[in-house]
Structure 1
Amino acid sequence: MTTSAQQHVLQREELPALLGALRDDGYLLVGPTVRDGAIVLDEIAGVADLPEGWTEDQEAGTYRLRRRDDLALFGFAAGPQSFKQRFFVPKATLWRARRSEGGFSLLHDVAPPPRLALIGARSCDIHAIEIQDRTFLRGPFADPDYEARRRDVFVVAVNCGTAGGTCFCVSMGTGPKASFGFDLALTELLDDGGHRFLVEVGSERGAALLERLAPVQASAADEAAAAAVVERTARSMGRRMETEGIKELLYRNLEHPRWDDVADRCLACTNCTLVCPTCFCARVEDTTDLTGETAERTRHWDSCFTLGHSKLHGAAVRATHKARYRQWLVHKVASWIDQFGTSGCVGCGRCITWCPVAIDITEEVAAIRATDGAVA
């Protein structure tokens, strides 16, 4: 992916043409829209489906939609969903077979996945996709279902102009400005210059698409305004996590009493892993129909918080809430580094917002760090 230093401006009225061009090229648009009291990621037809004038108030265990005092299209932070569910899908059919003479024959009746255009992808979620790519594509074997869904994805990123109360992407080095993984990146501007978008090109196909819209070159004032938006967002993070030496910190505190404290609060409900954009735990199920004529194998989302996930030879290895929460947090920000060379946390804050008892990963790490070495 190549990046052009040239930046352009699209007016608010020109955004429908951008989305229309993607539709004309055969892409299915997936972007933010308001549904069921939240801003979710779903199939959209165009700009009219975007959450115009909406934002969110987020805190630990709290999420509320709220009207803005302007008509921003992307004036919110991370909602309950990420793009993970489009690639590592909640349920995937691995194979299907029908009984034939002398055995079973595989069926090949699964429709190919659509070409996706991700609209409004945030930097934290682009980093999360990169982390999942390492898991499913860059190991000894590539996952064929994930690989098929990730193929030919067009990414329209949006640099964040609003930080949520639980965001801490600055701490993790994953935002608020997209630095890679996009074809086009937008910064939404609403000021005396009007409602417009500064557009940065991230790939040759992004440049080709933008050229069809005949955008104007960005002025120095436009570029300065966009930089100010990102800088303001970076200064207004709702949370912070100290990451210096975090892997060693957690490894030497596996018996810290803080694990007992969090276990007393944790419900093992799995919310944190379901909303996390990088968690990839799964289980495999084999089923047959009542006649015994067809069989299939499916993969389903699972969680390291379920008792059965660590079951080996008839018993669970991690039988307590303490063991399961410790496994999740230590893997997420420590042993993930050993496995994949990066943290598994992108600082989106979803696990904090959507925990029903308001457990805060940044607070747990800070509590262990504050008493590091003081506990025998």
Structure 2
Amino acid sequence: MGMIHAGRQAMTGDGTTAVIGTDGLDALIRILAARGRTVIGPTVREGAIVLAEIAGGDDLPYGWGVELEAGHYRLRPREDGAVFAHSAGPQSWKTFLHPQRERQWAVDRQADGALVVTEDAPPPPSYAFLGVRPCDLRAIGVQDRVLAGGPHVDSRYRARRERAFLVAAECTEPGATCFCTSMGTGPAADGGYDLALTEVAEDGDHRFWVRAGSDDGASVLAELPRRPADEETESTARRSVAAAADRMGRTMPPVDLQLLMRETLHADRWNDVASRCLTCGNCTMACPTCFCTTAEDVTDLTGDHAERWRRWESCFDLEFSHLPGGPVRESGRSRYRQWATHKLGTWYDQFGSSGCVGCGRCIVWCPVGIDITEEAHALNAERAAGAGPDEVPS
């Protein structure tokens, strides 16, 4: 379960696997809500599958899949009525655990001129996340290390994370922009969840193979309308997930990506991608692991009330690296290179893993269709063609 769930006991053995139907999925939502949790799951809104609060099974995207490509996203109907046969949408769970904007404190000037500072300390919500993809489970684990581990803990993140209940949904239908297999993050869920579901929608028997990954998960599973896990459902579920691994729409080059980034700092390919990049920051906003923030101070017209807000920031913003002498990274080339080399390379030095989980969101939501996997392959090809390692980055 990782650092956040270290106090929970991983469950194995009898009573921790079962099969539920669509009625069990509806019951799962209602049981979690009855336990005081705000249930967040996928639902269809305004032409996309988004993450939002849901009240029951009818809110889920039954019968909807997605058509994905670089800079392209469309819903498409499915005949099998599957609920989790869609890839990662425009949002990630970061939206709820590490909100895009939140107030830190407020200060008011009293009649006598004294300043009174009030720190915002709202009670953390108790979320239940339904339908967390394996790549997003890994992304949550990455943010756990960044924001809840080490010497500088984000107390608000940690409080939300400690109260979160995670229901994973293994992938059986990868999208054209998915590459989790290359990053070792899917399509199977290998831990970090309270419950894991694998959907089987065939022969008129729409069902889910369910496993508990914690005591909390086993407790919820015991309340669901269920039947014992049978060999046919389990084997079908496992085959579907294994087949998904062979149908990834994208791949990363099978090389040491950390070394590749380090040895291609002066590659001509950075000029090519810079000619297309708008430096809009969409990739960092959609990314489930990007975590950078900035402080924003606002005041009323009288100057008697001020607030400090924290909001997401992007390394594509020219002001992101601004110093008294000016920005450190003036060019779009340097800013794209910073993002890619950090995500795929120097993240290992800081946090012990890649910052990329292969979800493909940065590809889909780039307005000009820049594809990080294409860029990595191009850098690798240029290196193989004779561009040796560089000593000093430009």
Q: TM-score, normalised by structure 2?
A: 0.92
Other-structure match for 1:99: 109
Other-structure match for 1:320: 331
1:270-293 deviation per Cα after TM superposition (whole angstroms, max 9, x unaligned): 111110001112111122222222
Other-structure match for 1:334: 345
1:49-81 deviation per Cα after TM superposition (whole angstroms, max 9, x unaligned): 111100000011111100001211111111111
Other-structure match for 2:62: 52
AA matched with 2:12: S
Of 288-297 and 178-187, deviating more is: 288-297
CA displacement at 1:45 relative to structure 2: 1.2
> Which residue of 5, 11, 33 maps to 1:3?
11
Distance 2:78 2:368 in 1: 28
1:261-311 deviation per Cα after TM superposition (whole angstroms, max 9, x unaligned): 000010111111110001112111122222222221111111111111110
| Native 8 Å contact 2:105 2:120 kept in 1 | no
1:154-173 deviation per Cα after TM superposition (whole angstroms, max 9, x unaligned): 11110011100000000000
CA displacement at 1:125 relative to structure 2: 0.6
1:253 aligns to 2:261 (yes or no): no
Distance 2:156 2:19 in 1: 37
1:42 aligns to 2:40 (yes or no): no
- SS of alignment partner, residue 126 of structure 1: helix
| Native 8 Å contact 2:27 2:225 kept in 1 | no
Other-structure match for 1:305: 316
Distance 2:309 2:254 in 1: 37
Cα distance 1:108–1:330, how it changes in 2: closer, same or farther (>3 A)? closer
AA matched with 2:362: C
Distance 1:186 1:315 in 2: 51
| Native 8 Å contact 1:28 1:43 kept in 2 | yes
1:21 aligns to 2:43 (yes or no): no
Other-structure match for 1:194: 205
Distance 2:189 2:204 in 1: 23
| Native 8 Å contact 2:289 2:356 kept in 1 | yes
CA displacement at 1:8 relative to structure 2: 0.6
CA displacement at 1:102 relative to structure 2: 6.0
Distance 1:15 1:272 in 2: 32
Cα distance 1:285–1:217, how it changes in 2: closer, same or farther (>3 A)? same
Gaps of 5+ in 1: none
| Native 8 Å contact 1:172 1:243 kept in 2 | no
AA matched with 1:270: G
1:232 aligns to 2:243 (yes or no): yes
> Which residue of 65, 77, 96 maps to 2:87?
77
Question: Where do 1:94-133 residues align within 5 Å?
Answer: 94-100=104-110, 101=112, 103-108=114-119, 111-133=122-144
Distance 1:152 1:111 in 2: 14
AA matched with 2:56: G
AA matched with 2:174: A
Distance 1:243 1:285 in 2: 42
| Native 8 Å contact 2:107 2:115 kept in 1 | yes
Structure 1 segments (4+ residues) deviating >6 Å:
none
CA displacement at 1:314 relative to structure 2: 4.1
What is the Cα-based RMSD across aligned positions, in Å?
1.4
CA displacement at 1:109 relative to structure 2: 5.7
Of 176-185 and 97-106, deviating more is: 97-106
Other-structure match for 1:269: 280
- SS of alignment partner, residue 36 of structure 2: coil
- SS of alignment partner, residue 112 of structure 1: coil
1:211-251 deviation per Cα after TM superposition (whole angstroms, max 9, x unaligned): 12252211111110110110111111000112532111111
Other-structure match for 1:279: 290
Distance 1:78 1:181 in 2: 18
AA matched with 2:302: T
1:181 aligns to 2:189 (yes or no): no
- SS of alignment partner, residue 383 of structure 2: coil
Other-structure match for 1:375: 387
| Native 8 Å contact 1:92 1:145 kept in 2 | no
CA displacement at 1:148 relative to structure 2: 2.4
1:167 aligns to 2:167 (yes or no): no
- SS of alignment partner, residue 357 of structure 1: coil
AA matched with 2:49: I
Of 132-141 and 315-324, deviating more is: 132-141
Distance 1:103 1:185 in 2: 54
Other-structure match for 1:30: 40
Other-structure match for 1:290: 301
> Which residue of 214, 217, 225 maps to 1:206?
217
Distance 1:35 1:18 in 2: 22
Of 110-119 and 63-72, deviating more is: 110-119
AA matched with 1:70: D
Other-structure match for 2:392: none
| Native 8 Å contact 1:9 1:218 kept in 2 | yes
Distance 1:333 1:280 in 2: 15
Distance 1:139 1:182 in 2: 22
Q: TM-score, normalised by structure 1?
A: 0.97
CA displacement at 1:3 relative to structure 2: 3.1
AA matched with 1:73: V
- SS of alignment partner, residue 373 of structure 2: helix
- SS of alignment partner, residue 138 of structure 1: coil
Distance 1:166 1:3 in 2: 34
Gaps of 5+ in 2: 1-7, 389-394
1:219 aligns to 2:230 (yes or no): yes
